[in-house]
Structure 1
Amino acid sequence: MKVLLQRCKNASVTVDGEVTGAIEHGYVLLVGIAATDGEKEINYLSDKIAGLRLFEDESGKMNLSIVESGGSILSVSQFTLYADTRKGRRPSFTDAARPELAKPLWELFNQKLRDKGFVVETGVFGAMMDVTFTNDGPVTIMLEA
């Protein structure tokens, strides 16, 4: 499982002209599920995301978690995080989970974050999405389990 985490000032996702999720400050999570992923990876990354200290304290140091900063989460499924570009010019996505596995795992991941008390907005699994956000910092971190 891979999560590209981006600290943001605001973010939204639109599908077919309709906003399906929007947040003010917090994290945009681009979430890739591998064919070998399961609940162990989901638990690890949801705990990691909840505990990371990526928000500035009164001294300007990244010392506060998303919980302490009162942030929200926008979660977007992103199978292209598993693109293999080592051969040729067209990426292969064979390491990405098939939709019938990836969708319930992505939904479980989002629920685990909600269970930790976060407001979690989402895109639409498998849809063509327009994701708009203002990266804060910028702070962008790749997490893997």
Structure 2
Amino acid sequence: MRAVLQRVRHARVTVGDEPTGEISRGWLVLLGVGPGDTQKSVDWLADKVANLRAFEDAAGKMNLSVQDVSGGVLVVSQFTLYGDCLKGRRPSFTGAAPPAVAEPLYEAFATALKMLGVPVATGRFCADMLVELANDGPVTFVLDVPV
């Protein structure tokens, strides 16, 4: 799994005219699923997202987790995180898991975060989405689940 975490003051995703998910302070997680990912990948990443200390404490130090600040997580599927742009001018997406594999793991990731006590909102898998955010900092991390 590969995730881009963006610390946000607020974020929202809509499909067409329908809002599907919205959070105030927290993480916007763009989530890509690879073909070798498993429930173990889901559990590792959910724990990392829930407990990563990248929110500022009273002294202005990144010392608090999303849980510590009573924040939420907006999870958006993003297969293009596995896009290969090294050859030619058109990206290849053969490194991404097929939808039949990716969707259950995407849903399992959202569920795992909820089980950790984090409020979760989501986009819609395989949809053309509009994602709006106010990046806080900006603070952005790219996480690759260890194999």
Query: For the superposition of Structure 1 and Structure 2, which TM-score range results when normalised by the shorter chain?
Result: over 0.9
Deviation at 1:38, TM superposition (A): 0.6
Deviation at 1:52, TM superposition (A): 0.6
1:113 paired with 2:116, answer no
Q: Secondary structure at the match of 2:92?
A: coil
* 1:50 to partner: Cα distance: 1.3
Q: 1:40: Cα distance to partner? A: 1.2
Q: CA deviation at 1:134?
A: 0.1
Specify the alignment match of 1:82 in structure 2. Answer: 82
Instruction: State yes or no: 1:143 paired with 2:140.
Output: no
Shift of 1:129: 0.1
Q: Secondary structure at the match of 1:46?
A: helix
Q: Are 1:15 and 2:15 an aligned pair?
A: yes
Q: How does 1:114-129 map to 2 (within 5 A)?
A: 114-129=114-129
Q: Residues of 1 paired with 2:18 and 2:50: CA distance?
A: 29
> Residue by residue, what CA displacement relative to the aligned partner does 1:4-58 show, whole Å, maximum 9, x if unpaired?
0000000000001110000100000000000111111111111111111011000
TM-score w.r.t. length of structure 2: 0.97
RMSD of aligned Cα (Å): 0.5
| Percentage identity across paired residues of the two chains | 51
TM-score normalised per structure 1? 0.99
Deviation, 1:83, is 0.4
The residue that corresponds to 1:48 in the other structure is: 48
Residue number in structure 1 paired with 2:3: 3
Q: Quick one: distance in 2 between partners of 1:23 and 1:98?
A: 28
Cα drift, residue 135 of structure 1? 0.1
Query: Which runs of structure 1 show a deviation greater than 6 angstroms over 4 or more consecutive aligned residues?
Result: none
Determine the C-alpha separation between the residues in 2 that align with 1:101 and 1:53.
Answer: 30
Measure, in 2, the Cα distance between the counterparts of 1:52 and 1:113.
13
Equivalent residue of 1:140, what SS?
A: strand
> Using the alignment, how far apart are the partners of 2:15 and 2:49 within structure 1?
26
Q: Which consecutive residues of structure 2, in runs of 5 or more, have no partner in the other structure? A: none
Aligned length, in residue pairs: 145
